[in-house]
Amino acid sequence: MIRVLCFLAILVLCYSPVRAATPEEHAKAVARVVDGAIVPAFGALETATAKLKPATESFCRQPDPVHREALRAAFIEVLKRWAHVDFLLFGPLAESQRVERFAFWPDSSGAGARQMRRLRAKPDPALLDPQRLGRSSAAIQGLPAFEALLFGDNATAVKDYDCKLAVAIAANLEQLSTEMVRGWTDPGGWRALMLSAGPANSYYAAPREAANELLKAVLTGFVQLRDQRLLAALAKEGGARPEKLPYWRSGGTDAYLEATLAALKQFVDLFDLPGLADPDMASAKSSIDVQFKRAEEGLAMAGHPLRETIATPAGRAGVQQLLAAMKIVQDLIGVQLAPAAGLSVGFNALDGD
């Protein structure tokens, strides 16, 4: 019997490179981010998506400029709320392909446009049922599909089917948001899982593991902002490809990028890695503040709307200032602060080999 118990014993070897933060400090940091940023952000997303469907229905009943602007405002509000969660690629957002279903973007092979063209040429009434739509291709059930339907090239001649499909997409987005709110806040949900990290936890065996998850998420946020949303729109030869910017059709690009910066700033502030690290890293806090300020200034300097200004010298310079500032923060966090705070994103764990 003792032998059997021996076989089942799990041995933990902790790797602590420096004076790392204590498990209690890691747990507090996790609680700050989860309760201060993540859970409220999913709640706000649910609220915003709940308003998209009525705005769509009003516009479809009365497609005049007033209702179009009201619809645009409702859509942009969803984009802003989405920017606060779309880098949390674990837990409820990663399950059931929710991230792809909510926003199939970037879509480098143009799957969304292709499938939408096919669908509008030959409308399928079954997809007007949000449940059915939710089980169909990710490329036609989320934000980019909604945008293409109501703010695309043909937006002046929105057909009946387009409207009904957009209503179904809005309902699907609300449903997905509700599922994610529940996935986080239910007893036994992801909030409870992250806040109860420890030996008895089935997923996070120590607060440090939960903190590592958040570290990975925020670094993903920086990579997405730089590589997917901005670098792709700056052509190498000095030109610009504004059509690579996110949500330019609806005019939501600028608001979405501003919200992304705000979301990353809030997350980083609440996480407070400098506070978890050695005292000699304390100055990093002000460096981070300075760089976020530079990034915000860069975006403002570029001028609005970015889809027009990005091709101008000022627009390009502004975007490059933002990119440079965010790269500094990303490296500061990933290379210096994380190890100093006893955290690690992993070398093999992220490898995929």
Partner 1 sequence: MQAVAALGGTGLIGPALGAIGDTGLYVSGCRQADGSFAAVLFDRRGRDLAVLPVETRLHDTAHSRVLNRAVIFARRPGTLAFVIDLDSRRLERTIASPPGRHFYGHGVFSKDGRILYATENDFASGAGLIGLYDSSDSYRRVGEFPSGGVGPHELLLQPDGRSLIVANGGIRTNPETGREKLDLDRMVSSLTRIELAHGTITESVALPKELQLLSLRHLAIDATGAVWFGAQWEGDPGETPPIVGRYRPGSSLSTLMLPEPLARVSQGYVGSVASDARGDLVATSCPKGGRIIVWEAQTGKIAGVAALEDGCGVAPAPARKRGFAMSSGGGLLIDWSLEGASPIASGGSGRSWDNHLRKILS
Could you tell me the smallest distance in angstroms from the CB atom of residue 92 to partner 1?
9
Tokens matching residue 214: 């958040």
DSSP structure class, residue 277: S
Cβ neighbours of 116 (radius 10 Å): 21
Please identify which residue in the block is written with the tokens 């997303």: 45
DSSP code string of 180-239: HHHHHHSTTSHHHHHHT-STT-SS-SSHHHHHHHHHHHHHHHHHIIIIIIIGGGB-TTS-
- Given a contact cutoff of 8 angstroms between Cβ atoms, the answer to whether 299 and 257 are in contact is yes
Using CB under 8 A as the binding rule, whether residue 7 contacts partner 1 is answered as yes
Tokens matching residue 286: 């002000």
Could you tell me the smallest distance in angstroms from the CB atom of residue 206 to partner 1?
8
- Given a contact cutoff of 8 angstroms between Cβ atoms, the answer to whether 145 and 139 are in contact is yes
Using CB under 8 A as the binding rule, whether residue 346 contacts partner 1 is answered as yes
Using CB under 8 A as the binding rule, whether residue 290 contacts partner 1 is answered as no
Could you tell me the smallest distance in angstroms from the CB atom of residue 130 to partner 1?
20
Using CB under 8 A as the binding rule, whether residue 161 contacts partner 1 is answered as no
Contact region for partner 1 (CB under 8 A) — 28-36, 248-256, 267-275, 344-352?
Answer: 344-352
Binding mask 193-212 for partner 1 (x = CB under 8 A): ------xx-xx-x---x---
Contact region for partner 1 (CB under 8 A) — 123-131, 217-225, 249-257, 340-348?
Answer: 340-348
Using CB under 8 A as the binding rule, whether residue 188 contacts partner 1 is answered as no
Among 2, 16, 61, 188, binds partner 1 (CB under 8 A): 16
For 341, list phi and psi in degrees, rounded to 5.
-95, 5
Burial of 54 (0-12, 13-18, 19+ CB in 10 A): middle
Contact region for partner 1 (CB under 8 A) — 87-95, 125-133, 295-303, 311-319?
Answer: 87-95
Using CB under 8 A as the binding rule, whether residue 156 contacts partner 1 is answered as no
Contact region for partner 1 (CB under 8 A) — 5-13, 125-133, 234-242, 298-306?
Answer: 5-13
Long-range contacts of 228-232 (CB under 8 A, 24+ apart): 228/106, 229/257, 229/260, 230/257, 230/319, 230/322, 230/323, 231/323, 232/106
Using CB under 8 A as the binding rule, whether residue 24 contacts partner 1 is answered as no
For 110, list phi and psi in degrees, rounded to 5.
70, 30
Residue among 15 and 157 whose Cβ is closer to partner 1: 15
Residue among 233 and 343 whose Cβ is closer to partner 1: 343
Near partner 1 in 93-122, by CB under 8 A: 94-97
Residue among 42 and 256 whose Cβ is closer to partner 1: 42
Residues of the shown chain interacting with partner 1 in the complex, contacts defined by CB under 8 A:
6-18, 90, 94-97, 199-200, 202-203, 205, 209, 344, 346-349, 351-353
